[in-house]
Amino acid sequence: MIKGVVTILWKDLLVEWRSRERLGPMVVFVFLIILVFNFSFALGGSALHEIGAGVLWSAFVFAGLIGLNHTFAAELDNNCLDALMLAPVSHSSLYLAKMLGNLLFLLVVELLSLPFFSLFFNLSPGLYLVPLVAVLTLGAACLASVGTLFAAMSSNSRLREFLLPLLVLPMIYPALIWAVKATAIVFEHSRPSATGALATAAFWPGSLTEPVSFLLVYSIVFTTLALMLFDQVLED
Amino acid sequence: MVAALYAVFLYVPTERQMGLVQRIFYFHVSSAICSLVAFSLVFVASIQYLRRREERWDRLAVASAELGVIFALIVLITGPLWARPIWGVFWRWEPRLTFMLITFLMYVAYLMVRAYAAGSVEQTRRFAAVLGIVAFVNVPLVHFSVNLWSADQQLHPQKVELAPEMVVARYVSLVAVGSLFLFLLKRRMELELASQTLNRIRQKLDDERGDDGP
């Protein structure tokens, strides 16, 4: 099972490495969305603590939807999906590989877009980056767990790409609420404290535990559920 | 239904603080209960369909999903109508409103999957069943999240004391709305059965014509 997952994941990474069809457009898209927010709300430097987290996650969710659409749509060319289903790996491993791939892509996009996000929002690097990356990873895991399952469904519908946001968005709202909340908490603690000393509180604020554990629960619940149900989605 | 209308409009005393508008309560609450029951039925029917692959479970799922969406819509329409005079606004991002809205949207997505499917009928049913299960699992998570997200905005009363007549009217309307729900559910399932049969006959005719054709 693990071997199958690794093989498919490796194949997807290799395809991405050679074609660069996903990461590039996604990063540019995040950049553009952040600008959209900037122009629609005339954001200033102090905006970070008010809506920074919301802007960041909106951009990630929209970019994520673009990337998710690619998961199975890319396999439709030359009937690659049929070949994948014939391959001697279980459908669950296929889901897991695709889900991990999406998670990885989302994470790379998030990390690549952080620098210019911090630039626009005047965020200087600091220790808060550690919990921030943890929150970003978990948020991406939530999006990938639900998104991969639905991408398989939407690639088989008349609406194609258009159906995916209709499915994913209402489902992802609870995770979004918590991801934004956690990110806002992290940003709140990103200011260097008055004494200049980096207290452990800045590293991992106590209020962060609740949102983070919710994100963890959400991603585990839906990954498990998707693993159980993925057979039903692929079967012809 | 008539009894409920009688109970709601004539029997029950007008609520002292809120006045006439409060009468909407009887349908508002009953519809909310019905829509949640409907979504639970979708969940059960979806599991059963995936396990047994019997069309009747799929008919139950599609019928209750549609009715759940309609009853949720009734809740979402009567809610603001009632809220405007009482809270002063149509809409607040209050936990229960947010919860109902997100749940409603999830099942709208469910109906979309059914409506715009490209594959075989059987595949559409499987997709719908998967979504019916995933969406229902999400319901408590949504509930939990929005409750903590905007707990400070709690406007729905958490516990209500009702006059005895109101209690009667409440249950009468619950029974009335509930039986309307069951009646519509039954009709919708019959309709689905009829349309399935019709499709099968059409398919057969097409096949036969295809054999004779040039």
pLDDT bracket for residue A43 (50, 70, 90): low
How does the average pLDDT of chain B come out, rounded?
82
At residue B5, the pLDDT reads 63
The residue among B33, B22, B2, B1 whose CA lies nearest residue B165 is B22
Using an 8 Å CB-CB cutoff, list chain A residues near B128.
none
Work out the percent of chain B whose per-residue pLDDT is above 90.
28
Q: How confident is the model at residue A101 (pLDDT cuts 50, 70, 90)?
A: very high
Q: What is the pLDDT of residue A103?
A: 94
* DSSP code at position B89: S
Contact yes or no for A170 and B127 at CB 8 A? no
What is the average per-residue pLDDT within B143-166? 71
Say how far residue B38 (Cα) sits from the centre of its chain.
5
Query: What pLDDT shows up at residue B154?
Result: 66
Confidence of residue B203 (pLDDT cuts 50, 70, 90): confident
**Which tens digits make up the pLDDT trace of A143-182?**
999 999 999 888 888 877 788 999 999 999 999 989 998 9
- The whole-number average pLDDT for the span A63-87 is 83
For the residues A110-114, what does the mean pLDDT come to?
91
Whether A163 contacts chain B with CB within 8 A: yes
**Per-position DSSP letters for A71-124, written without gaps between them:** HHHHHHGGGHHHHHHHSSS-HHHHHHHHHHHHHHHHHHHHHHHHHHHHHHTT--
Asked whether residue B14 carries a pLDDT value surpassing 60, the answer given is: no
Average pLDDT over residues B109-117: 88
Across the interface, whether the CB atoms of B131 and A167 are under 8 A apart is answered yes
Q: Show residues of chain A in contact with B131, CB under 8 Å.
A: 150, 153, 167
Q: What is the DSSP track for A58-76?
A: HHHHHHHHHHHHHHHHHHH
Q: What is the ipTM of this complex?
A: 0.82
Instruction: Looking at the complex, report in whole angstroms how far the Cα of residue A215 sits from the nearest Cα belonging to chain B.
Output: 11
CB B39 within 8 A of CB B64: yes
Q: Which pLDDT score, from 0 to 100, does residue B48 have?
A: 93
More confident residue, A85 or A114: A114
A64-68, A192-196, B103-107: range with lowest mean pLDDT: A192-196
A234 touches chain B (CB under 8 A): no
Residue carrying the six token digits 């002292």: B16
Which residue type does B38 have? A
Asked whether B167 and B42 are in contact (CB, 8 A), the reply is no
Pairwise CA distance, residues B113 & B121, whole Å: 12
| A76 interfaces chain B, CB cutoff of 8 Å | no
Q: Specify the amino acid at residue A102.
A: N
Q: Say how far apart CA B44 and CA B35 lie, in whole Å.
A: 14
Residue A91, min C-alpha distance to chain B (Å): 15
Work out the minimum CA distance from A120 to partner chain B, whole angstroms: 28
The Cα–Cα gap between A40 and A146 comes to 30
> For residue B109, which residues of chain A lie inside 8 Å, CB to CB?
166-167, 170-171
Contact list in A for residue B133 (CB cut-off 8 A) is 225, 229
> Where is average pLDDT lowest: B20-29, B54-63, B152-161?
B152-161
Distances (CA, A) of B151 to A176, A210, A224, B93, B140: 17, 15, 30, 10, 16
CB contact under 8 A, B117 and A232: no
Q: What is the pLDDT of residue A201?
A: 53
pLDDT in tens, A199-224: 555 567 778 888 899 999 999 999 99
Mean pLDDT value across residues A106-115:
91
Share of chain B above pLDDT 70, in %: 81
Locate all alpha helices (DSSP H) within B7-92, ordered by sequence. Answer: 25-52, 55-87
Amino acid at B57: W
Q: Tell me, yes or no, if A164 comes closer than 8 A to chain B by beta carbon.
A: no
Shortest distance between the Cα of B45 and any Cα of chain A, in A, equals: 15
Task: Kindly determine whether residue A177 and residue B145, on different chains, have CB atoms separated by under 8 Å.
Answer: yes
> Smallest Cβ distance to B102: which of A163, A170, A226?
A170
Of B151, B150, B152, B170, residue with least CA distance to B160: B170
Task: Give the Cα separation of B133 and B44 in Å (integer).
Answer: 8
Cα–Cα distance list, B188 to A165, B66, B93, B180 (Å):
28, 9, 33, 12
Q: For residue range A1-12, list pLDDT tens digits in order.
A: 788 888 888 888
Pick from A157, A166, A171: which is nearest to B134 by CB? A171
Q: Does the pLDDT of residue A127 top 80, yes or no?
A: no
Q: What is the C-alpha to C-alpha distance for residues A50 and A44, in angstroms, rounded to an integer? A: 10
Chain B residues with CB under 8 Å of a chain A CB are 50, 102, 105-106, 108-109, 112-113, 116-120, 123, 126-127, 129-131, 133-135, 137-138, 141-142, 144-146, 149
List of chain B residues whose C-beta atoms are within 8 Å of the C-beta of residue A169: 105
CA distances to A172, B45, B68, B192 from B35, in Å: 21, 15, 4, 20
Domain ranges of chain A: 2-234
Closest partner CB to B137 (pick from A157, A181, A225)? A225
Work out the number of other CB atoms within 10 angstroms of the CB of residue A56.
Answer: 28
Q: Which two tokens stand for residue A33?
A: 């969305």
Question: Is residue A188 within a helix (H) or strand (E), and if so which, with residue range?
Answer: helix A163-188
A212 Cβ under 8 Å from any chain B Cβ: no
Cα distance from B52 to chain A (closest Cα, Å)?
12
Mean of pLDDT values over A64-69 = 90
Q: Which among A146, A170, A178 has the least Cβ separation from residue B145?
A: A178
Residue B212 or residue A224, greater confidence:
A224
Q: Taking CB atoms and an 8 Å limit, are B133 and A229 in contact across chains?
A: yes
Closest CA to A154 of B102, B130, B135, B61: B130
**Residue A79: pLDDT over 70:** yes
Residue B173: the pLDDT is 78
On the CB side of B182, CA atoms within 13 Å amount to 6
Residues contacting B68, CB < 8 A, separation 6+: B34, B35, B36, B38, B39, B41, B42, B107
**Which among A13, A23, A188, A1 is positioned nearest to A113, based on CA atoms?**
A23
Contacts of A149 in chain B (CB under 8 A): 130, 134
pLDDT band at B158 (very low <50, low <70, confident <90, very high): low
Q: Would the CB atoms of A167 and B126 count as touching at under 8 Å?
A: no
